Structure 1
Amino acid sequence: MGLLLVLFPQDNNTIADKSKLNFSFPSSSSVSKRSLFSKTQSTISICALLLFTTLLLFTLSTIPNPTLPTRRPPLLKPPKHHFALQRMGTLYRRGTKPMNDLLICHVSDQTPLHDFRSFLRLLHRSSLTASTDVVFLFPSSSSSSKFAPVIIQENDAFSSLIHLHAQFNSTRWRQTPKSNFDPNRFLPKGNQFGEPLWGHKIRTNSSRPDSLSYGSVLSFDASELDPENSLAGFLDRTPLSLRRWACYPMLLGRVRRNFKHVMLVDVRTVLILKDPLGRVRNRTPDSVFLFSKADKHNKKSQRAVQPAVVMGGARGVRRLANAVMVEIVRAATQHKKKKNSVSESVVLSQLVGSEFMLKNWNVNLVASTESIPEASSLGGHGHNSGSASTSFSDYVIIQRGLNDHDLNYVIKRQICSFVVDSSVYRDC
């Protein structure tokens, strides 16, 4: 504004007063000079005004608007988040059709990445994912971000593997490439059509069966399914091994009409080699199957229950989760001075030993005396031993032992020994 005040005269009489100092009577030349001077001054003022307006508009345009986010170039834009269910969870792979079975795998923060990769790779190579949706339960969003790249890499490897084997089968080679991976397990069976439960609905021609049959892969954070941390008021700390029982009722309640069988697995403890759900598919929806916990030092007639694997009808597993949740609170209340001493194995073992409790929850529990075999008991599995690599294929599910430092190496060596399979894995 100060610039404008200098360029614009405050009074027109100023010009007239200056002319009176030089001339007492105006002549034609003086009049023309005054007219030229006035036009020049007006032109300069207009230019100055335009310059000021331009500078003002430029300044305003460069000030960022705090209410609107700045746009990023398309290459820097983060990938779109695909919600799995009702604006919760993350969908990594959408299956080809709705599945009858659901596998929920809880992954603690202490799970090493190489153990998680071995679990997921063997799971993809088993026949279980041909008829099962897979859900990973993480303790927090930071934990899910940590394991997400491994899920994406193994999903891509599985896709390449199954299409590569399909290509070999279509060419009708005289000799099928040697591999323990059977792509025929993922061929569609029956007349089950429709859209998968997870993710956004996509309009497709459901009357035409897909060429392959495999389930969805997704994850949830514990804070999504149990936002208030229900056990926080009863325990000093709530590890995922206990908090997961508060997450199951929420998740299973929302999908109770979509699945017939459910399996709960601890990723850090077990490895799935084949389809274990064959034990419960012919049982009632209220039935639940539990393995016993191998304990050589326990001489009691009642053996402890292995909490790493729980499977059964969807209704029975959901009711058992509610019962375990109540028993955890009961145990924490009775041991106020030792709140952190609550163990899920002890809680499950008490439920198994109390028929009255299970009848109250309408759970038909099948507590097997069979335990999950440990990898260390299947033979030597060192770097120079080959017996374990062949014995794994004879089991449906195995348990990691305390001294299985070389187990991941043996698994990788077994898979990478097949020329076709090794071409799809980066670490072979």
Structure 2
Amino acid sequence: MTRETTGKAYVVGVGMTKFEKPETRDWQYWDMAEEAGTAALADAGVPYTRVEQAVVGYCFQASTAGQRAVYALGLSGIPVYNLNNNCATGSTALMTARQFVEGGVADCVLALGFEKMSRGSLGGGAAAGDFSTSPVARHYGIMAARHGFEASPPTAQIFGNAAREHMERYGTTEVQLAAVGAKNHQHSANNPHAQFQDVYTVDEILAAKTVHRPLTKLQCSPTSDGAAAVLVVSERFADEHGLRDRAVEIAGQAMTTDTEESFASGSCIDAVGRPMSRAAARQVYERSGLGIEDVDVIELHDCFSINELLTYEALGMCEEGASGKLVESGATTYGGRWVVNPSGGLISKGHPLGATGLAQTAELVWQLRGQAGARQVAGARVGLAHNIGLGGAAVVTLLRKA
């Protein structure tokens, strides 16, 4: 069959499970995948028999777990692709689905992500000081050369050290870092899909257990179980199936990986991905013809509070070093210039690695359709998602109501 390439791809269905603390519910990854996938198909009003390809992302399950997951939706014999791109896995699945649609390979593709995790801190792939077998050996080596290697969780260390550098270089304060956590916990109180709905003051966040100074527990994303799914279709498919009223256009998307800039400075700020994020954002703005000034609502990768601040700078929301003042000003919450992480973000919504990027998309689609309930951003027309994984991959996606 010959397909016309339209150059456009649309999200017409989204779904996700509630994100939960590991071992809270007696379910397997295929159970959560079925729940999220079924919800996305129902949202679109499209049966699984119309799906032509499935792209499935996860980090901690065995090879071909994607097949086991989609078999719960149907046994149609379609190609199933299994992806692992660290914490950017979900957005990588979305990008792959978009490329299939834009390239004319398929008219209807399901992007699905899930994770069944273990309790406790994420290890990060490096034992104390031993980087030899870790995919992120170079990143941790940058950290160790400047800050040493301590007993705290490696991912918290590298981001905590990035926070220390930001404080030393720009005068960012612990109160400003805690303000990120306070904002996102406040937002999650209105999200029934979030792992946590508790609200905390800045003082309570500062007083929480220290994970790696200056980051406290309430500024760190938890391990989580959960799944999310997104149905991506061509313009032709949307028109033929009467889906325009619920379609959200993927107006621009880019993925970048580490360059020399990530390592040349010897700074954890660069090693954790600010240069990657900046480059991905620049590409998306150029390709879409939209800029940060056009964006209303943002879901970004706040794995730790410092990464939200670094991402403000990478996306062009403020000058380099001014992100602490930006969050403190109220510019990134309701009533401000943008609403960032209305879902609660990774810090409060949760972070099942394979699902995170797709859950960001689900939240933005609900926002752009006006379906976000008590957390709705008034008049939202353009949304931006940012998802990053060490190792490294940064994916930025611009969504626009069709």
TM-score normalised to structure 2 length: 0.25
Higher relative contact order (CA 8 A, sep 6+): 2
What's the TM-score once normalised by structure 1's chain length? 0.24
